[in-house]
Chains A and B, each alone.
Chain A
Amino acid sequence: MEMPQPNPAVLRKRDRVLDRLAAVLAPEALISDEAERRAYECDALTAYRCLPMAVTLPASTAEVSAILRICHEEGVPVVPRGSGTSLAGGALPTEDSVILGVARLRDVLEVNFPDRYIRVQTGMTNLSVTGAVESDGFFYAPDPSSQLACAIAGNIAMNSGGAHCLKYGVTTNNLLGVTMVMMDGTITEIGGAHMDAAGYDLLGVICGSEGQLGVVTEATLRILPKPEGARPVLMGFDSNEVAGECVSDIIKAGVLPVAIEFMDRPCIRACEDFAKAGYPDCEALLIVEVEGSPAEIDEQLALITAIARRHNPVELRESQSEDESRKIWLGRKSAFGAMGQINDYMCLDGTIPVTALPFVLRRIGEMSREFGLDVANVFHAGDGNMHPLILFDANKPGDLELCEAFGAEILKLCVEVGGCLTGEHGVGIEKRDLMAVQYTPEDLEAQMRVKDVFDPQWLLNPAKVFPLISSATRRAAA
């Protein structure tokens, strides 16, 4: 992965920058020691590492503003960081950058049940937001699988999704307002507790901008009343095509399940070995979950199982109890861990039109044979967000490169059938150079113009999202 050459002028003034930061930050908010900086050299995309110039961990919006103002004046790139769980290298530092981590900003600022929102500092983890409201019967809907660790700041930067977005949407659909600090240190408020912000939809642009437009320190999030209950049904099929058709038929029938998860044979087998969830021996497996009162759930599941029966399932198991529900989900939820046990893997997240599912799965199978690398598929079928896991051996020379080449081919296929490179993980550095597959130079130019407005010197989260060649002129001019 190519990264831009560090700016020697910035490296030369490291001491001065550190002195200026030390003057405005508490001692524990500034990390300059090399051993401690190591912890920030990568995120969850661990194949790429780079030691930053310094790490800052501010405890207030005012401190965030002070850090940004200094870095802006000194022309120092800043890499914002939530919990560092990005799978796309969204928080990968450059050698000449200062990390700005929000991990110490973790207070709940306000909870308002009548108006159904919570205002938090963005270093809070996703799950702790739900934790703050669940005893009153509410929850925060976006639920990325890293929700135990990932921060709201990163969720906003990447517009994170989760298993339940078919019904509840992703982060951008649940974000009402932010406090954001611009690269020059200006503190702005966008939106609030009302349903739609005034003027242009800047919230919509900031969400998913991968920390390149500003640093969000506080967020007002929509909270929802918890459903009365939820129950899954598990169905096994003897081909991916049939399972794909079943998904389409369920959607067309007018039921709106809260989740439709799909696993193919390699994934079923790995999960079964790992978690002993009692999954059937079959080619494709669906877990469909619906919500409501017990009677409502029965009615919806009856409709869904009737549709499934038309597709001759090899297994149809409706959960009758909490324990059975847990068992059905157990395998799915341990899928990534199970794959990790048996292999190194790379997880993709291209999204495709649901109707293209059978074709894409067949092509991935063919490509798997061409590249000589196994693939397991586990994904959110209801919204077309695929998660092919390509298995490789990190200790075998050339295997990572082969895996990356295979991954790129799969993502190109996703775009070819009308889909996109990433459904919820973000572009980061990982998919940066594939952007030209999905977008024309004019398309990318329009996006980069937005960056020009928010961060004219291109200092925030450098070398992410846009192919280096597309952004070269801008970065050189800044």
Chain B
Amino acid sequence: MRPISEAELSEMIRSALGPLRIAGGGTRNLGKPVLGAALSTAGLSGITLYEPGALTVVARAGTPLSEVQTTLAAEGQRLPFEPMDMRPLLGSEGTPTVGGMVAANASGPRRVQVGACRDSLIGLRFVDGTGAVVKNGGRVMKNVTGYDLVKLMAGSWGTLGVMSECAFKLLPVPETEATLRSAPLSPAAAVDVMSRALGTPYEVNGAARDESGCVCLRIEGFAKQVAYRRAALETALGGEWDVLEGPQSATLWQEIRDVQGFAGRTGDVWRLSVKPSDAPDIMARADCPALMDWGGGLIWALVEEGHDLRARLGAFAGHATLIRASGATRAALPVFQPEPAPLAAIAAGLRAKFDPRGVLNPGLMG
């Protein structure tokens, strides 16, 4: 199924006789495998409103992300949260869409400064499991009118509704960027230096550690500003740093964003969200190749195929998501972190209300 209007989308969901497998461009194929009729939102395409002077863009859910990014770049603007392209890591093909990005709440390195996808999402339209068309939020930056279903839908992987249109607030693209790169550091030393960097007023908006242990710190802004902050940051942190300027820095952060270090390598990929200062201990327990982003708050782990990383880690504050694994492993292990009973009850209650017949990606989130 490939609706080309919201009304058609609504009708298809209303008349669905069984489970639907919802996808945008199909590049973020994760979660429990869903058996059902494929429904693609790719036909709901096009930017419906772009006002550079108001820093807002509205696009239909199936709009290719690249189309939005190109349009914004022409006005010197961008989606602030640096969404990951999952194709290299998952080996998937297709065209990432706006709706797929929102359904995954895809947020890259700049998350530490500007927030996640959900923080820039200011409004949407979606069709729930009964076929009802719902609007929430709007196209303005501040909006507390009624409950915030915009956040609820972001990261819900198409299990509560199928998005038809999304609105975002934007930021200007800075004039330039630079990255400081250290020699290899232990996880503990890396988290320490990233925490210190993120605690300075120099607006570090990328703080990652690669597999070899090198810490990368990014600064963006006007040229003079970047030069000043880079020098001030080096002084504040001490130690020896390589400097990567402009395009070199941009390429590096794209690799970090897309976890290219694990692309094409054998093994399952897990994503852990943790308190940064817990990260060194958790990495020691994981005992596998690992990358850190978000100042240590995000760990990407490459684990032997079929292995239950959660069992190896034991209890920790945060959560683990199985991002890349065979269908068999994804069927055997919880893909998303199992929730405490009261929260699991709320999640089940929301699903029952928004999708009473259980037709929207049933079981995908467990």
Query: Which A residues are CB-close (under 8 A) to B116?
Result: 195-196
A86 to chain B, nearest CB (A): 12
In the complex, what's the smallest C-beta–C-beta distance from B169 to chain A, in angstroms?
9
- Interface segment among B28-36, B61-69, B334-342: the answer is B334-342
Q: Which among A203, A419, A442 is the interface contact of B138 at CB below 8 angstroms?
A: A419
Also in contact, A449 and B195, with CB within 8 A (given A194-B275, A251-B53): no
Whether the pair A427, B145 counts as a contact (CB closer than 8 A) is yes
Query: Quick one: CB contact mask for A368-398 with B, threshold 8 Å, 1 for yes?
Result: 0000000000001001110000000000000
- Contacts of B183 on A, CB cut-off 8 Å? none
> CB distance A193 to B317 under 8 Å?
yes
Are B353 and A199 in touch, CB under 8 angstroms? no
Question: Which of the residues B155, B336, B349 comes within 8 Å of A453, measured between beta carbons?
Answer: B349
Q: Are B349 and A353 in contact (CB under 8 A)?
A: no
Against B, the Cβ 8 Å flags (1 = close, 0 = not) of A180-219 are 0010001011101111111111111101110000000000
Do B132 and A169 touch across chains, with their CB atoms under 8 A apart?
Answer: no
A207 — nearest CB in chain B belongs to which residue? Answer: B148
**A418 near B349 (CB under 8 angstroms)?**
no
Selected contact of B318 from candidates A192, A439, A452, CB within 8 Å: A192
Are A205 and B151 also in contact (CB < 8 A) when A114-B199, A114-B276, A255-B172 are?
Answer: yes
Instruction: Chain B residues near A228: list those with CB within 8 A.
Output: 201
Beta-carbon contact of A420 and B138 below 8 Å: yes
- Given known A193-B275, A251-B55, A383-B142, contact A447–B340 (CB-CB < 8 A): no
Name which residue of chain A comes closest to B123, CB basis.
A420
* Choice from A172, A226, A438, A450 contacting B149 with Cβ under 8 Å: A450
* Contact A196 to B105, CB < 8 A, known contacts A172-B151, A418-B139, A424-B142: yes
Residue B245 is within 8 A (CB to CB) of chain A in the complex: no
A205 to B277, CA, bound (A): 28
Most chain A beta-carbon contacts within 10 A, residue among B56, B140, B222: B140
Asked if residues A169 and B119 are in contact (CB atoms below 8 Å), the reply is yes
Interface size on A, residues (CB 8 A): 93
Bits for B215-257, please: 1 = Cβ < 8 Å to A, else 0: 0000001101100100010000000000000000000000000
B273 within 8 A of A: yes
- A295, B228: Cβ atoms under 8 Å? yes
Interface residue B298 (Cβ < 8 Å from any Cβ of A): yes
CB distance from A99 to the nearest CB of B (A): 22
Min CB distance A35 to B, Å, is: 34
Stretch at the interface among A3-11, A19-27, A50-58, A158-166: A158-166
Q: In the assembly, what is the distance between CA of A406 and CA of B274, in Å?
A: 50
* Chain B min CB distance to A248 (Å): 3
B113-156 Cβ-contact flags toward A at 8 Å (1 or 0): 00110110000000010001111101111111111111110111
> Cβ of B354 and Cβ of A254 under 8 Å apart?
no
Known: A299-B224, A353-B56, A419-B140. A200 touches B350 (CB 8 A): yes
| B51 neighbours in A (Cβ, 8 Å) | 353-355
On chain A, the residues within 8 Å of B174 by CB distance are 254
B186 at the interface (CB under 8 A from A): no
Which chain A residue lies CB-closest to B160? A200
Interface check A314, CB cutoff 8 A: no
Complex Cα gap A198–B277 (Å): 19
Q: CB distance A201 to B336 under 8 Å?
A: no
Supposing A189-B340, A423-B143, A435-B146 touch, asked if A114 and B53 sit within 8 A by C-beta, the answer is no
Q: Find the residue from B55, B192, B317 having the highest chain A CB count within 10 A.
A: B55
Interface size class of B (residues with CB under 8 A): 35 or more
Docked CA distance A120–B287 (Å)? 35
Residues of A within 8 A of B324 (CB): none
CB atoms of B319 and A194 under 8 A apart: yes
- Contact present for A204 and B298 (CB under 8 Å): no
**A173 partner residues in chain B, CB cutoff 8 A:** 115, 119
- Chain A residues 394 to 444 lying within 8 A of chain B, measured CB to CB, are 418-427, 431, 435, 438-440, 442-444
Do B53 and A201 touch across chains, with their CB atoms under 8 A apart?
no
With A114-B199, A295-B228, A420-B143 in contact, do A446 and B354 touch (Cβ < 8 Å)?
A: yes
Chain B CB within 8 A of A337 CB: no
A249 part of interface (Cβ distance < 8 Å)? yes
Chain A nearest CB, measured from B107 CB (Å)? 8
By the criterion CB–CB under 8 Å, are A188 and B340 in contact? Answer: yes
In the assembled complex, A252 has its CB within 8 A of some CB on chain B: yes
Assess whether B26 is interfacial by the CB under 8 Å rule: no
Whether B140 pairs with A351 at a CB distance below 8 angstroms is yes
- Nearest to A419 among chain B residues (CB) is B140
Q: Are A201 and B152 in contact (CB under 8 A)?
A: yes
CB contacts (< 8 Å) of B275 on chain A: these are: 115, 192-194
Instruction: Report which of A199, A225, A256 forms a contact with B336, defined as CB distance below 8 A.
Output: A199
In the complex where A205-B148, A443-B136 touch, is A355 in contact with B54 (Cβ < 8 A)?
Answer: yes
**A465 at the A/B interface (Cβ < 8 Å)?**
yes
B76 within 8 A of A: yes
B331 at the interface (CB under 8 A from A): no
Closest CB in chain B relative to A151 CB, distance in Å: 17
Q: Is the CB of B149 within 8 A of A352?
A: no
B136 contact from A113, A137, A352, A446, Cβ within 8 A: A446
Q: Decide if B228 touches A165 in the complex (CB within 8 Å).
A: no
Given the contacts A193-B275, A198-B337, A226-B201, A450 and B350 also touching, CB distance less than 8 Å: yes
Asked whether, in the complex, the Cβ of B222 is within 8 Å of the Cβ of A353, the reply is: no
Q: Which chain A residues border B134 with CB–CB below 8 Å?
A: 442-443, 446
Shortest beta-carbon distance, A458 to chain B, in Å? 14
**CB distance A169 to B115 under 8 Å?**
yes
Q: Which residues of A contact B139 (CB under 8 A)?
A: 353, 418
Beyond A195-B111, A201-B152, whether A442 also contacts B146 by CB under 8 A is no
Binary CB contact string for chain B from 251 to 279 against chain A (1 if under 8 A, 0 otherwise): 00000000000000000000001111100
Q: Are A439 and B142 in contact (CB under 8 A)?
A: no
Closest residue of chain A to B150 (Cβ to Cβ) is: A204
A199 touches B337 (CB 8 A): yes
Residue of A nearest to B143 (CB): A420
Tell me if B76 and A385 are in contact (CB < 8 A): no
**Does B173 count as interface, using CB distance less than 8 angstroms?**
yes
Q: Within the complex, what minimum Cβ distance (angstroms) separates A308 from chain B?
A: 15
Nearest first, the 6 A-B pairs at minimum CB distance are: A204-B151, A248-B53, A423-B142, A254-B172, A198-B319, A453-B349
Query: Can you list 14 A-B pairs with a CB-CB distance of less than 8 A?
Result: A115-B277, A137-B201, A159-B148, A169-B115, A196-B107, A200-B152, A225-B198, A248-B53, A252-B52, A252-B172, A293-B228, A296-B228, A419-B140, A423-B143
Q: A423-B142, A443-B136 are in contact. List 12 more A-B contacts (CB 8 A).
A: A114-B277, A115-B275, A172-B148, A201-B154, A204-B154, A293-B228, A355-B53, A422-B145, A427-B146, A435-B145, A439-B145, A450-B350
Residues of A within 8 A of B (CB): 112-116, 137-138, 158-159, 161, 165-166, 169-170, 172-173, 182, 186, 188-190, 192-205, 207-209, 225-228, 248-249, 251-256, 292-293, 295-296, 299-300, 351-355, 380, 383-385, 418-427, 431, 435, 438-440, 442-447, 449-454, 465
